[in-house]
Structure 1
């Protein structure tokens, strides 16, 4: 909101795990007027109950919701590219399997080529290089440190 002057009409692309952070986006995006495009590997999709809520909200608020396994499809025309950790606390034993499953889901400048011309990047941190490469993470389009700073005002 701070960067774009509002949230209504923005397209958010989530590329990564169908975890709790994504599920929070899914339950709130439509209510804030945002379109949501989600790419997760097969087997790592968000909870079906949350997906149904997001679909209902999308219809009610007139926004679009896309679920795919293709990161480039999700990134298409997105204003904001978002990812999160692929290996959450308690999933350390799944690391090898998860890294294999998430190959091709790293956010890079190649991913961003299909995004909107004003695209930005978010990650709730801490970040691992396999999730987003250094070029995107440290670019002027990355708002991760402003995002982190804003969290202290919401707690």
Structure 2
């Protein structure tokens, strides 16, 4: 992992890895702590525990917080699959369909899978689930950062 991320086992959550930017004054930090797991089937799960800050006036998780988690999950998935080795990438598109409300105070999981990877692009899809219920379905495309010129073949 690049030095921008703190990534390692969470002793309080067996099977989960803690994922955080080292710079806590970046936008990603608005979600609070994140945990990740790459399942045997290749699906990457990115978990948050939304609190008051991520809630709206109905005490549901704000759609913007969910989309932030989804966008981060695309890149976590790409990194755990080894596709982003040379720095950041760019979100080219992100399509979402909200099908339920996320509740503040319960773990919220973005489950992401790779549909296809090319030299520069990665196509992904997934679900955001909470307590066994689907909150959001999504697809996204990211453009990978190419290797520095001296490392290319």
* Structure 1 and Structure 2 fold alike (TM over 0.5): no
| TM-score (norm: length of structure 1) | 0.27
| TM-score (norm: length of structure 2) | 0.27
